[in-house]
Structure formats: structure tokens, C-alpha cells
Chain A
Amino acid sequence: MSRRTRVALKGAVRPPENESAFLLDPHRRGLPGRERMRRYGDSEPVDMVIVGAGAGGATLAQRLARRGWRIVVLEAGPFWDPDSDWVSDEAGAHDLYWTEPRVIGGEDPVELGKNNCGRGVGGSMVHYAGYTPRFHPSDFEVLSRDGVGADWPIAYAQLRPHYERLERELPVAGEWWPWGDPHGYPHAPHPVGGGALSAMEGARRCGIRMRVGPVGITNGSFGNRPHCIYRGLCLQGCKVGAKASPLVTHIPDALEHGVEIRSGCMVTRIEIDAGGRCTGVSYRHEERERFQRADTVAVAGYSIETPRLLLHSTSARFPAGLGNDNDLVGRGIMVQGAPQVAGRFEQEMRMYKAPPPEISSEQFYETDPERDFARGFSIQTVGPLPIGWAEHVLADGHWGQALREYVRDYNHWYTLGVLCELLPRPENRVTLAEERDRHGMPVARLDYTQCDNDRANIAYAKRKLSEIISAAGAQDVLAIDRYAHLVGGCAMSDSPDSGVVDSDHRAWGVPNLFVADGSVMPTQGSANPALTIMALSSRLAERLGAKRVHTSRRPARPLASSAPAPA
């Protein structure tokens, strides 16, 4: 579609082959399709069982169900009814996060839970901020261009049609996007708060362009999806239904096309037959051990649970776990460095209003030879609520009276953050710990250590943020370090020596096992991952649906262990 046509149709384009927004009930937030959901028996053969109902799993289910696939999605968490299960409250959002035991280690451990891990139908997108930028074309060839990280076995051009389609399905609101592959958005940009306006002005004075958006939040008429009410609790689950998550963007249409979403089901093993094919998955439901038979298995449990499940699915044929013949499962986990800088303004900014994702810049996204590190970062807004603000103050080193005094000053502060592209490193990995969870399954352990490039990137980005916030007229500044997001761990690759899945997301060595979530990303860019996770699943579904992926035979290339040694 040309830019002119797209601008003319702004807000009016109905997404193709996804009726989700029109299948919602305007008077309640629970999904009407849930009561008449198709149910399958455990022994009833289905075409695919998907583990996880988040961005990857739900998109895959919706797409394939439209092509007639019989699909069961097993989700460890609940099937949310936002009216009764969610609250407009920061601490009350605790149940939205993955809070089962996990161990973190390494020199720069990554805190999990509310920071980056979801649970329940809709997955982490239920509590993501709402930013939905695309990756840049350069992200798919980082090794070739910049000599760091890895190249993807697919190119930007292969995801582009899926980005465009998803931006209409979410739908995404924002200004014309000048970075990466320049593009527009179906919905107009949202209004922004006083803090964001000041930050934009500060950025302008520093020669930095900021844009409003892109956010997956309706800004205008879109089926039965309500308009945003700017209550600021995007990270606590959008009770309104304005913010995109699979619960409102893909699950309704999936249910309509016969998908069963079986919630409260913790998958513990992928089962394999003597020939090395998956036969289905074992899972725990209400304290009972069950087995769902399926022709194909797609794992979409995200960067920690997906490797954990593959590693735990050992057998005589796969003693180290599925897809793990080369000890690559769980490796290359990435988080983004996400320091935050808060500025104090004379006027009240009341940063709890308006969605936390307001404005953004990708001016520093690409490698710049003037800097002493490869790749870059994006700049975004964050709108911490009181607990988040107190954590920011504490991280700067204040407690007692000083803490109280800074937090009492809450309404005068505004906060900017960055997302730094940290590089994939094999030693940053998920392994199985000694201890076991309540299902008897070993818990995941995540080790994380930054490299010099990572530290240089974070330090530089933090200085830029301080410049912007000072130029915006901030009287004082509080700067802290933190992480955001989580991808990698089952990288896609063009050879089994360098990754876990092929370019069709199929595990090397297991013809009917797929990984359909953020764990397949070989690199992460400095964009928020949600839209790209959905786009990857959308592309996979297109290829599976068009039978361009064969699930009956092994991948064309042999396993490294049986391949002749390279010359």
C-alpha cells in the first residue's frame, strides 16, 4: 500500500482475516467466545498443540485455525476475565507475572518476575508497556554489518508484510516513523502528557528527534475495542481493553475458528517416539498428569520456559534434551539495558497519567563509528507509578527520610528510559537448577553477564538521557540502571551448529517440533520485542499453512554430529 493510500485510509482499514476486535463484547471484558469454546479430548488427535498463549502462541494459533488446523493451546496461567481478575492497582498486578521459583546468577543477574515475565492467556503482552516498534532491516544482519552478534537466517523483507498486517490488527497508533524501514501507522498518535512534551523539547534542543508512539493502543474506532482512558496502568494489565495483547487481538478470532485454549496446564515434557518425532506433550492440570496427543508441537513459552522445557524433555534419542545435540538450547539469552533517568520539574508532571509509552526515538539505533561500541539504543518514556518510583529512588541510594522526601516529590518528576541492544553471548544462558518446583520439574536458572560493548552502550545511553532531561529544564536528576525484556535462548540459524531451530522455527533434528516465541531471536535490536514475536509467528503460520514446511521429514541439512567434519 502506498503511503498516500495508507494516510487516506488512516484508522479505517479493517484488518484482513482477523475479526477479534468485532468479537469482543462492548459491555464486558471477558471473551464471549470462551463459553462456546471447542474442546478436544486428550487422546483426540489434533494438528498442533501449542505451549503458551502469549504473543507467539496466540498469533500462531489464530492464523493456523483460519486455515483449518485443529489446535489446542496449553497455558500454565489463568484464562483472564479482566473485569474480575484485574485491578487498577500496581501491587495488585502481582498475579499477572510468572512468580514460580527461578534462580538468577552471573555477574550482572537479571531480575525476573514483574520486570519481564508473564503468565496467563495473553502472556507478557498483558503487562508490557505497549510499545510496538518494528526491528530495523540491519537487525537481521548484525554480524555481517557490524561484526558482532549473529546474522538471522531470514531478512527484514520476509517479516515486513507481517509487520504491516499486525500493525492493523493491534492496531498501532503513532506518528510517521522515519527510522529503519520508514512507515506510517493505522491510528493517529495519542495525546501526550506534560512530561513527554518537556522531554520532546529537551531532545529537540539536543538535536534529537522524538516521535509520538508507536503503541498498540487504540486511538479511534476499532470494532468493539474501547478507546484509551489514559489511566496510566498499562503495565498492570489493561482493564479497559484499549491496549493490545493477544487476549483481545488474536484469541477471540482463534476461539471463533475452533481453537481450544486450555488454561491452568503446565507442560512438563515433550514426548518423542522411537523415530525421533514428537507425539504430544505431558502436562499437569489440577494436580493430575495428562498427555495431549498432537501431530506437531509448537513451544511458545518465552525465553526461559521454552529452553527449560526442551532441556527437560530428555530421552534415549535426545539425552541432552530436544534440539540440544550441540548444547545450544538456552544459550544466547538477551535482555536490553534499560537505565532510567528522572528529572525534577518546577511544574507538576503527574507522570501516572497517560500511558507510560508516549514518545520514542531511534536516532541512536544503528552503529555509529563516532562511538566506541557497536549497535545502539532507543529512547522511550517510562511512567513509573508510586512503587516503581520508590524503587527508582532506592536504586539511586536513598532510604528512610530521604526516600520519603523524594517520593513525596513524585508529582514533579518525569522519567525517560532507553533500551540498549546488548549482544548475544553463549555464556548467558538458561540451565536446569538442582531444585525442583511443585510439579517436580527442575527450576530454570538464568545466568547473565554483560560484555564490554554492553557496558559502553549503557553508559553512553545514560549520558544522552541525562543531557535530554537537563536540556528539558530539569532541576535535578536521578539516574538508575535496570534491564528490560527478554529474548533468545533457542536461536534460529541456517545450520545446526549455530542454533536450535531453522529458519522455519523447526528444531534441528526433530521434524515436527517448532519454537514460536521470542527465544528464536539471534539478536534483539533495541526495539521492544512484542511486535516482532507476533510477526515471526505470523510468518511461520503462513509457511506452515501453505505447506511450505514439511513436518514429516528431517530438515534438509544433517545434524552436525553426523555431518562430515568441515575441511
Chain B
Amino acid sequence: MPPVRSSAEHLPQRRADSGLPGPPPELPRQRRGVTPQMRGRYPDYDVLSEAQHWDSVTRELVLDRVRKVPPIRFFDDAEAAALRAFCDVVTAQDSEPRIPVLEMVDAKFHAGKLDGFRYEDLPEDPQTWRAVAASLDRTAERAGHSSFAEAPVEERRAIVARFARGELDWEIPVQRAWTVVMRAVLSAFYSHPWAWNEIGFGGPAYPRGYARLGAGQREQWEAPPEFSRDPVGDVRERGLE
């Protein structure tokens, strides 16, 4: 399919999703290794099979993200339920295997790790997350559902879409709270080697480095994509936003 030319100004504006948008139907099933929901552009690429070439400190850190999924210790049950449903919606994780985004965020807060700043009108990140959990539940309740997690998926997506656009009337500044929670979500999701498999990222390359830097070039252990549809056109044509 020919790529679509467009500029940032013409990118699709966010809108409330309706129905159940999925990944492109032609996206292959993963054949080697694991990707979230077992789909990806590089079905025969498993970055973890390269782990023997990484330095040991990096290897242990990355492998632990797969091997040692921590229990939820910072959030309480109600918060965890709402936030788990939220993380699933914003990362489009609708089936197993899932990257344990909430567990990774919870572990960070349990360890007392902060990112080095907070907005003047928001509490520190862990408390902002808690406020978002309570606010998601209250918003779902006002729409007649028992909680955010119990609301139908279309409703959850609609609430998140309004959250992303800053349209919700919460006690905390909504637009800024969105950037706070999404910063942690993305940092967790895209630090996981399953996500690297999905996107074909070469992963840690120390001490061996990269040698093939040119356009269209690959290291011998990197895999070619089996699907290369331009997402800008695809997202628009399939009404994903």
C-alpha cells in the first residue's frame, strides 16, 4: 500500500473511540519470542535471544523485567483495579500476554522513586496516580457503572479519551495529571523487552555495539519487518482515533 503523505497539522485529532479498534488485521502473529498480545512487525525477532551478548549488569536488569514481576504493594485493591484497567486501555493491551505495566509502576512508587519534579498544582507522582484512580472510578460511577474497571470497554475508552483531552472535571488539573501518569506508563511499557520485540528495537548493545548504521541496513542478528504499513494513513483510514 502506498504511503500517505501528510503533515503534522493534518494528523487525525483524537476522538472518542467507538467499537473495538484493533491492530491492523494483516499484522503477523509473533513466531519467536513474546510480544504483548503476540503481534508485531518482526515475527521472527526475539531480542532476548541476544541477551548473552549484553553486559551482565544490563542483562540482569532487563531479564528481571520478564522473570520477576513484582506484587502490587503501593496501590490498594480498588486503586489497582481502576489503574490496571486504565493501563490496559492506554496501551491497548486487550489480551494476554500483557506487559505488567501497573506492577512496574507500583514497584517504582514502592521503592520511593520520583522523577525529579512535580507541577505546583499536583501532588508528587504517587499521590497523583492515586487521585487519578479515585477520579476514574467517580467518573464511571456518575455514568451509572459500579467502578471504572467494571464499566464496559467502550465506556472506559470514552472516559480515557476525555482524560487525554483534558475534558474531565476533576479536583486535580486533568491535562497535567494525564502527562504524569502517561510518563510512567510509557516508561514501563517500552522498557520491557517484549515491546522491543514488537517494534524491532535492537536492544542493549554493549559491549558489542552497532556496525551497520545506514538506511535499510541491519546487523546480522536484527530481523527484517514483515509488515510496513505507514501508521499515519492506517490510523486515519481505520478510524482508530
Chain A positions within 8 Å of B, measured between CB atoms, are: 83-92, 94, 97-105, 109, 111-114, 117, 191-195, 197-198, 229-233, 239-240, 341, 344-350, 352-354, 385-387, 389-391, 394, 396-412, 445-446, 466, 470, 475-479
Contact = CB atoms under 8 A, between A and B. Distances in A.
Given A112-B116, A198-B215, A232-B205, A398 B190 contact: no
A197 B207 CA distance: 26
Contact of A112 (B117, B124, B160): B117
Contacts, number: 250
A398 B164 CA distance: 9
15 contacts: A87-B61, A104-B117, A105-B120, A114-B115, A197-B214, A232-B210, A239-B206, A240-B209, A344-B230, A394-B186, A397-B164, A400-B89, A407-B190, A408-B41, A408-B198
B6 A88 contact: no
Contacts of B217: 194, 348, 350
Contacts of A345: 215
A240 B210 CA distance: 13
A194 B117 contact: no
A99 B114 contact: yes
Q: B interface, how many residues as a size bin?
A: 35 or more
Interface in B145-185: 157, 160, 164, 182-183
Contact of A113 (B6, B115, B212): B115
A475 B199 contact: no
A102 B116 CA distance: 6
Contacts of A348: 215-218, 225
Given A193-B213, A230-B213, A401 B21 contact: yes
Contacts of A387: 186-187, 190-191
A470 B191 contact: no
B74 interface: no
Interface string B213-241: 11111100010010010111111000011
B55 interface: yes
B205 A231 contact: yes
B22 A401 contact: yes
Contacts of B4: 475-476
A212 to B, nearest CB: 13
Contacts of A394: 182, 186
B214 A405 contact: no
Contacts of A90: 190-191
A390 B186 contact: yes
A102 B54 contact: no
B232 A344 contact: yes
Contacts of B8: 341, 396, 466, 477-479
B117 A103 contact: yes
Contacts of A89: 58, 61-62, 191, 204
A116 to B, nearest CB: 9
Given A102-B117, A193-B214, A400 B17 contact: yes
B116 A100 contact: yes
Contacts of B115: 97, 99, 113-114
Interface string B79-96: 000000000011110000
Contacts of A386: 190-191, 195-196, 199, 201
A95 to B, nearest CB: 9
Given A94-B113, A412-B230, A476-B4, 14 more contacts: A104-B117, A109-B119, A114-B116, A231-B204, A231-B209, A232-B205, A233-B204, A240-B206, A344-B3, A387-B186, A399-B164, A475-B4, A476-B5, A477-B6
A390 B222 CA distance: 21
A407 to B, nearest CB: 6
B23 interface: yes
B157 to A, nearest CB: 7
Contacts of B41: 408-409, 411
Contact of A229 (B58, B210, B216, B225): B210
Nearest to B222: A350
Nearest to B12: A402
A88 B187 contact: no
A84 to B, nearest CB: 6
A401 B239 CA distance: 11
